[in-house]
């Protein structure tokens, strides 16, 4: 009997020892893989930082020399072994996402390199020697139509949240055609209206009716604005170029709280009564849909930049961002022929910009910030509270954009 037990225990002990050795080997192998992964991640971050440093150098150089052509030979960073190169892509050249550099712009592409063949790229679409895109009016459009008691006034977010409106709620159009700006149904503009060169001014800003006249601004009996003027030159309102193509992934969130990281998506939607927090960074989407009574929260100090290829819609009662924060922290850029629709008592604090897109507010909706579209429609008791601080806003502005010594950055992107 004892011999049988020993005969059984000995193989069992051998098997247990083998299993323990196997487990130790697997754990050691996993540890090596984790250390290797961590090392690769560090090198990838170092390469990305080198690319960002190269981009900063390029923007600084372009600010003082519009003919700057970049550097092909790797440049060594002062604080480490990382290097970078810089390419300046001219109009018509292909950007990393396959789109062409628009006429009148440059694309700056910086590549960063670290140990172990780690590499990263950082790029920016820029306009050199022009500050025409700096500053936004309350509303811009080739066609602006206010009706049904729609109103525009102003406040200054640098002095605190909106309490009561000031009379700087500006409206601007580069068009000089009759009826480019239409006010009817008790619509009010508590601020100035600027029209395109060769436009025709109405001698009266209130009282009477100018509908179907030769004036660039049409209004009926119950409407008014503070003043009007003719621009000597049209204001530059650059078209929106998506930094990259939208992704193929659709993100759909139901009730409850959720968080979304920057990235490229086919569509993003949040269901009724849900809350979606957006981390600071750049989002590129085809469609963004916010359900009824849903909330969108901007995390931290932003900015959050959402590039929209097709549509952005706010359902009834939804809130986007917070009127107590600066509208510049949320920037919605609408591509050519895209649409922005906001209605049903919704509120948004942010910049909506798409000079070749359509923008519509209805049903008592409110915007704290600025609106720019090819056509802008406000109806049904809607309000725009223009943030006067946006008169110094630069397209793409914030911690990852803005102007640098005569260089206007429309967007930045990492690869």
pLDDT, tens only, 306-324: 999 999 999 888 999 888 8
Is 253 among the domain residues?
yes
Q: Does 272 reside within a domain? A: yes
Boundary of a domain, candidates 72, 100, 131: 131
68 and 194: one domain?
no
pLDDT tens digits, residue range 351-408? 999 999 999 999 999 999 999 999 999 999 999 999 999 998 987 654 334 443 467 7
Stretch among 24-38, 128-142, 208-222, 298-312 having the lowest mean pLDDT: 24-38
Q: Report the pLDDT value the prediction gives residue 108, as an integer from 0 to 100.
A: 95
Local confidence band at 292 (pLDDT 50, 70, 90 cut-offs): confident
CA distance 351 to 333: 8
- pLDDT of residue 139 exceeding 90, the answer is yes
Q: Quick check: 47 pLDDT over 70?
A: yes
Between CA 166 and CA 168 the distance in angstroms is 6
Domain match, 194 and 325 both: yes
Q: Please report whether residue 336 resides in a domain.
A: yes
In terms of domains, do 187 and 61 share one? no
User: Which band of pLDDT confidence, cut at 50, 70 and 90, is reported for residue 206?
Assistant: confident
Length of the chain: 415
Q: Write out the residue range of the structural domain in which residue 282 sits.
A: 139-393
Whether residues 77 and 200 fall in one domain:
no
Rounded average pLDDT over 289-298: 91
> Considering 97, 131, 165, which residue would you say is the last residue of a domain?
131
Residue pLDDT, tens place only, 207-236: 888 999 999 999 998 999 999 999 998 898
Residue 346: C-alpha distances to residues 137, 138, 231, 281, 341 (Å): 22, 18, 33, 24, 10
Q: Is 334 a member of any domain?
A: yes
Number of structural domains the chain divides into? 2
What pLDDT does 335 receive?
Answer: 93
Question: Is the full-model pTM beyond 0.75?
Answer: no
At 277, the pLDDT band (50, 70, 90 cuts) reads very high
Q: What is residue 400's predicted lDDT score, i.e. its pLDDT?
A: 37
Is 407 domain-assigned?
no
HSE-CB at 139 with a 13 A cutoff on CA atoms is: 36
Q: How far apart are CA 200 and CA 204, in angstroms?
A: 12
Same domain, 240 and 363: yes
Q: Given 3-state DSSP classes, what are the helix, strand and coil percentages for the chain, each rounded to the nearest 5?
A: 20, 40, 40
Judgement on whether residues 116 and 185 belong to the same structural domain of the protein: no
DSSP 240: P
Q: Which of 131, 154, 188 is the last residue of a domain?
A: 131
Report DSSP state, residue 222.
T
Closest CA to 127 of 54, 72, 174, 59: 59
In a domain, 386, yes or no: yes
Say if residue 265 is in the same domain as residue 283. yes
Confidence of residue 155 (pLDDT cuts 50, 70, 90): very high
| Percent above pLDDT 90 for the chain | 58
Do both 91 and 155 map to the same domain? no
The answer to whether residue 260 scores a pLDDT higher than 80 is yes
269 - beta bridge partners?
Answer: 252, 289
Spatial contact of 103 and 93, defined as CB atoms under 8 Å apart? no
Same-domain status, 186 and 311: yes
399 domain residue, yes or no = no
What was the pLDDT predicted at 241?
82
Same domain, 56 and 182: no
CA distance 166 to 392: 18
CB-based burial label for 12 (10 Å; 0-12, 13-18, 19+) = exposed
Angle at 102 between CA 96 and CA 108, to 5 degrees: 50
Mean pLDDT of 65-71: 89
Q: Is residue 337 part of a domain?
A: yes
Interval 163-182 mean pLDDT: 94
How confident is the model over 73-105, as pLDDT tens digits? 999 987 778 999 999 999 999 988 788 888 888
- Average pLDDT of the segment spanning 63-78: 87
Is residue 147 very low, low, confident or very high in pLDDT (cuts 50, 70, 90)? Answer: very high
CA-CA distance, 205 to 193, in Å (whole number)? 10
The two structure tokens encoding residue 278: 């957006």
Q: Do 186 and 271 belong to one domain?
A: yes
Predicted pLDDT at 38: 63
* Whether residues 74 and 185 fall in one domain: no
């Amino acid at each position: 009997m004892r011999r049988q037990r020993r005969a059984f225990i000995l193989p069992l002990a051998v098997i247990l020892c083998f299993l323990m050795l196997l487990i130790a080997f697997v754990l050691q192998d996993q540890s090596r893989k984790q250390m290797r992964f961590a090392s690769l991640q560090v090198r990838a971050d170092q390469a990305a930082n080198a690319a960002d440093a190269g981009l900063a150098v390029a923007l600084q150089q372009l600010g003082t020399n519009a003919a700057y052509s970049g550097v092909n030979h790797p440049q060594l960073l002062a604080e480490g072994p990382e290097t970078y190169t810089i390419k300046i892509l001219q109009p018509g050249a292909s950007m990393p996402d396959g789109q062409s550099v628009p006429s009148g712009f440059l694309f700056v592409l910086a590549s960063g390199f670290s140990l172990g063949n780690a590499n990263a790229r950082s790029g920016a679409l820029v306009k050199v020697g022009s500050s025409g895109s700096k500053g936004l009016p309350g509303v811009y459009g080739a066609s602006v139509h206010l009706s049904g008691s729609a109103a525009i006034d102003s406040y200054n977010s640098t002095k605190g949240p909106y309490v009561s409106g000031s009379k700087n709620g500006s409206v601007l159009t580069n068009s000089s055609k009759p009826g480019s700006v239409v006010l009817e149904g008790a619509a009010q503009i508590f601020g100035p209206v600027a029209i395109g060169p060769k436009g025709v001014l109405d001698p009266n800003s209130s009282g009477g009716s100018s509908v179907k006249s030769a004036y660039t601004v049409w209004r009926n009996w119950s409407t008014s604005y503070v003043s009007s003027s003719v621009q000597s030159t049209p204001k530059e309102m650059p078209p929106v170029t998506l930094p990259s193509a939208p992704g193929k992934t659709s993100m759909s969130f139901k009730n409850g709280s959720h968080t979304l990281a920057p990235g490229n998506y086919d569509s993003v939607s949040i269901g009724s009564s849900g809350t979606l927090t957006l981390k600071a960074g750049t989002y590129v989407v085809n469609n963004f849909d916010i359900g009824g009574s849903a909330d969108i929260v901007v995390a931290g100090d932003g900015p959050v930049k959402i590039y929209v290829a097709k549509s952005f819609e706010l359902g009834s009662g939804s809130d986007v961002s917070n009127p107590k924060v600066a509208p510049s922290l949320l920037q919605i850029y609408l591509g050519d022929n895209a649409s922005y629709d906001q209605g049903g008592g919704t509120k948004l604090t942010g910049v909506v910009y798409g000079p070749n897109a359509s923008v519509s507010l209805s049903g008592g909706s409110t915007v704290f910030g600025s609106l720019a579209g090819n056509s802008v429609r406000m109806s049904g008791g809607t309000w725009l509270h223009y943030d006067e601080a946006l008169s110094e806003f630069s397209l793409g502005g914030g911690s990852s954009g803005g102007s640098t010594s005569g260089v206007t950055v429309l967007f930045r992107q990492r690869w």
